[in-house]
Amino acid sequence: MNNNKKILITGGAGFIGSHLTEKLIEQGNEIFIIDNLSTGRLENIKHLQDNKKLHFVKGSVLDEKLMAELIAQVDEIYHLAAAVGVKHILEKPLDCLLVNLNGTEIVLRQAEKRKVKVLIASSSEVYGKGDKVPFKEQDDRVYGSVYNNRWIYAFSKGVDEFLGLAYYKEKNVPVIVVRFFNVIGPRQVGRYGMVVPNFVKQALKSEPITVYGNGNQTRSFADVDDIIRAIIKLMDTKQAEGQVINLGADKEISINNLAKKVKELTKSSSKITHIPYNQAYPDGFEDLRRRVPDISNVRRMIGYEPKFSLEETIKKIIKYQQQA
């Protein structure tokens, strides 16, 4: 197992990164975090700040000198740093491209020197306009126009996957690519358009719960604790190297029903309201009707099964927001 390794987590002060940091320290590892705090928050790792096994560096994955110094010290890298959130990407497309493309290339280039194992976080967004649900890792992809910034994140993550696989095949760097599907849990913020923390926040304040479009679009939501457990196992699985792996939950729910569930669990008096996409996003925004992973690959590889139901995870998020 992962005991007593030196591990670098890029974006380690973020939502997923902070939960991963917590778990890996608990297992006895020494953790190095690099985070520029653009979307990550120090308060996410505040409870760990006195732990001698944690080393935090405020910096960018685009700083190759700094990345070289950090990667020279570690046995494994979880590369989670990325420009995230639909709204953020629509507002800052260049930032998204530079961080997601150049950042990943720098990580891989430095990892190659000592063949350090790298897990690259990808996204369900790479499936683009695919409608063959559930999505399988080898499916073809269709994207929108190059003039539509909505597809920048999907393109950049797709290129990250190609980069990772190329470094694995041509440079013998042990690389695993994981496609996350709507990971949720405590510490996730709604600032970048994340639907569940936004709904919970609105419900707790008795504000209208705002659903974009008609709300019939469906998503599958995975608990961050299930995801962390899986990626740590994948990092220890030789068979996962050189693979692209879907990771999430395979039960889908409509956004309308999600809003109702949040309202019910918070005992909120909030009304559920619908906002047309053209009022929330720039013209031409396109949304997927369904987004559900085929997780048979990760089941076969590590025996993965989500432990937490959506209801249990929403309750954890409610409790977190009430205490914040």
Triad 18, 116, 79: Cα angle to 5° = 30
Residues 6 or more apart in contact with residue 263 via CB below 8 angstroms: 203, 209, 270, 272
Q: Per residue in 239-293, pLDDT tens?
A: 999 999 999 999 999 999 999 999 999 999 999 999 987 777 766 667 778 999 9
| Total domains in the fold of the chain | 1
Asked if residue 176 belongs to a domain, the reply is yes
Helix (H) or strand (E) holding 160: helix 152-171
Asked if residue 282 belongs to a domain, the reply is no
Asked if residue 261 belongs to a domain, the reply is no
Q: How many angstroms separate the CA atoms of 285 and 144, rounded?
A: 10
Distance of CA 250 to the CA centre of its chain: 16
Which residue numbers are catalytic? 153
**0.85 surpassed by pTM:** yes
Range of the domain at 37: 6-183+222-250+292-307
Q: For residue 91, what pLDDT is reported?
A: 84
**Hey, what amino acid is at 31?**
I
Q: How many angstroms separate the CA atoms of 215 and 195, rounded?
A: 12
**Taking the alpha carbons of 85, 91, 97, 102 in that order, is the dihedral positive or negative?**
negative
Asked if residue 265 belongs to a domain, the reply is no
At residue 187, does pLDDT exceed 50?
yes
Single out the residue of 194, 181, 253 nearest to residue 218, CA to CA: 253
Asked if residue 59 belongs to a domain, the reply is yes
Helix (H) or strand (E) holding 249: none
Asked if residue 69 belongs to a domain, the reply is yes
Asked if residue 48 belongs to a domain, the reply is yes
Q: How many angstroms separate the CA atoms of 282 and 86, rounded?
A: 11
Asked if residue 319 belongs to a domain, the reply is no
Per the DSSP assignment, residues forming a β-bridge with 2 are none
Write the burial class of residue 170 (CB in 10 Å: 0-12 exposed, 13-18 middle, 19+ buried): exposed
Q: Per residue in 8-47, pLDDT tens?
A: 999 999 999 999 999 999 999 999 999 999 889 999 999 9
* Other CB atoms within 10 Å distance of the CB of residue 227: 25
- We report the CATH number of the domain holding residue 26 as 3.40.50.720
Q: How many angstroms separate the CA atoms of 167 and 163, rounded?
A: 6
